[in-house]
Structures are given as structure tokens and as C-alpha cells.
Amino acid sequence: MIVVSGSQSQNLAFKVSKLLNTKLTRVEYKRFPDNEIYVRIVDEINDDEAVIINTQKNQNDAIVETILLCDALRDEGVKKITLVAPYLAYARQDKKFNPGEAISIRALAKIYSNIVDKLITINPHETHIKDFFTIPFIYGDAIPKLAEYVKDKLNEPIVLAPDKGALEFAKTASKILNAEYDYLEKTRLSPTEIQIAPKTLDVKDRDVFIVDDIISTGGTMATAVKLLKEQGAKKIIAACVHPVLIGDALNKLYSAGVEEVVGTDTYLSEVSKVSVAEVIVDLL
């Protein structure tokens, strides 16, 4: 099996190739002056199987680049292609929220099912999207890696999920940290005032680890951090698998009093400190 990186996962693909004890395939990517993507497999290919690692932060570019890489690899005689999209774009448009909408991930699942033989991703927001694929759809969990990362940084922390839907992430992390876990509950005190506090646990004088699959705008997380600090929490670290961190999300979180924000290399950001390379290798 050869490891081929897309332009957005060059470092991650190298890590995966090292863990697999295989050579990273040399691929040339560039843009033509009119901005069209160009890809070329530079190394000679003598293998039936390839894994393409190409995350989808710049989603439309990644999708087209993947289409082109598959074309080039098939022409080199590759029979089986596994696409690793550590962050799978459009996965949150997984149903019609309003009439007439595209179900974006369904539309793209059809494309992937036509050009690759297997798809691997990390912590997709909804797992039912696997039903849109006619190829194996496999996903890994990077929450343990985040928990390991904070292990020595927090003192007997409480692990919190930002909402009930994320409780599974807190549970997973709590096992590694040998800690109690809970989720944050939002209570409306008045039309303008909300309270956010752990459902049962008390954060007073405790370190806190808040963990979720994705931080987008960071709004709810920042409000939670601010209120937890008011409730006497000591050091708070906020973690997520996919640090999408739109606009001023990081600034909001730090201003709210968080000690550190950490994410993985599924999505390039200033805080993509934890690698999912091992998680990927376990799935290959």
C-alpha cells in the first residue's frame, strides 16, 4: 500500500507513512495561473493499493484535488484507493433542514463512492451519514489522543461535555484521565440571562477539561468557560478534534479565561497540536 498525500495533509501523511514503515509517495501539486489545480504522481507506482490522505479544510479545493488524484492513480494501475479525509467537509448538511435544500454530504458520498473504494474519517459529527455511501465508511475517535495530551497539564480534573450530545466524548476522556465526567446544562434564568453549569458536579477549586468533537464559532464554549470561572473553576483546558475556530473563536475563548485550547491535525489551525496519525493507522 502506498501513501499519497493531498496538498492539505502533507505533514500528517508523512507521519502515517512513517508509522506504516513505507515511503511517502512524491506528488506534485500546483496551481495554474488561472487557479486550476494540477496534480502529478512523480514516483513510479508498483502497487495495487493506495491511501490518499487529504483533509478538507479548504473543502471545494480538496474535493476537486481528490478527484484528480484518483484519476492519476488509477492511470498508474492502482486498483484499490482508500480516501482518508480526517475532516470530512459538508458532513453537517446531513439532512434537509428546509425544503429544497441539497443534502450535501449525500451528494458528495455518491461522488466518493464512484471514485474510491473506502472512506476513512475522524469523528464525523453524525455517523448515520455512512448510509449515504455505497463503499465502506469507517471512522476513528481522536478524543483519547486529546485526553492523553492534557494528562500532565491538569490536576485531578473534572471532564465536561459542552452539552448532553457530547457526553460520550467526556466519558471517553474521563477513562483516560481517571476522572469524573459530566455535561454542561444551560438554564434560562430570564429572557436575557442564562446559567451554564455542570449537571451534577461542582467545579469549585477544580481543574476542568472541556471536550467536544468540533469547535466552530466557540460561542457557547466561551460562555461556559466564563461561567465556570465564576463558579470557582481553576485551570480550564478546552479541546476538540476539529479546531474549525471560525473568525475570532480563539480570541473569544482566551478572553473568557481558558488556559489552553487544543485541537488535532485533522484541521489546520493555530492549536492543531495533537496528531491523529496513529488513529488513522489503526484503521488502515
Which active-site residues does the annotation give? Answer: 186
Residue 24 near residue 3, CB atoms below 8 Å: yes
How many residues does this entry show for the chain?
A: 284
Q: Which residue has the cell 458520498?
A: 109
Cα atoms in the Cβ-side hemisphere of radius 13 Å centred on 94: 14
Of 1 and 37, which CB lies nearer to a second copy in the complex structure?
37
Cell numbers found for residue 214: 468540533
Least spacing, CB of residue 199 vs a second copy, in Å: 29
Of 162 and 218, which CB lies nearer to a second copy in the complex structure?
218
Least spacing, CB of residue 44 vs a second copy, in Å: 8
The verdict on 248 binding a second copy (CB under 8 A) reads no
Reference 198, options 235, 257, 158; nearest CA is: 158
Out of 10, 22, 59, 223, name the contact with a second copy by CB under 8 A: 59
Least spacing, CB of residue 9 vs a second copy, in Å: 17
User: Could you say which DSSP state residue 186 is in?
Assistant: E
Distance (Å, whole) CA 278 – CA 253? 28
Instruction: Enumerate residues 250-279 that contact a second copy by CB under 8 A.
Output: none
Out of 106, 125, 153, 273, name the contact with a second copy by CB under 8 A: 106
Residues whose CB is less than 8 angstroms from the CB of residue 158 and which lie 6 or more positions away in sequence, other chains included: 179, 180, 181, 182, 198, 201, 203, 206, 207, 208, 209
Stretch that binds a second copy, among 107-115, 145-153, 155-163, 229-237 (CB under 8 A): 107-115
The verdict on 194 binding a second copy (CB under 8 A) reads no
- Write the binding mask 137 to 176 for a second copy: x where contact by CB under 8 A, - elsewhere: ----------------------------------------
- Write the binding mask 62 to 91 for a second copy: x where contact by CB under 8 A, - elsewhere: -xx--xxxxxx--xx------------xx-
Least spacing, CB of residue 215 vs a second copy, in Å: 11
Residue 72 near residue 104, CB atoms below 8 Å: no
Q: How many CB atoms lie within 10 A of CB 284?
A: 16
The verdict on 33 binding a second copy (CB under 8 A) reads yes
- Angle, CA of 276, 278 and 281, to the nearest 5°: 110
User: Could you say which DSSP state residue 224 is in?
Assistant: H
Chain positions contacting a second copy, by CB under 8 A: 33-43, 58-61, 63-64, 67-72, 75-76, 89-90, 92-93, 96, 98-104, 106-108, 110-111, 114-115, 216-217, 244, 246-247
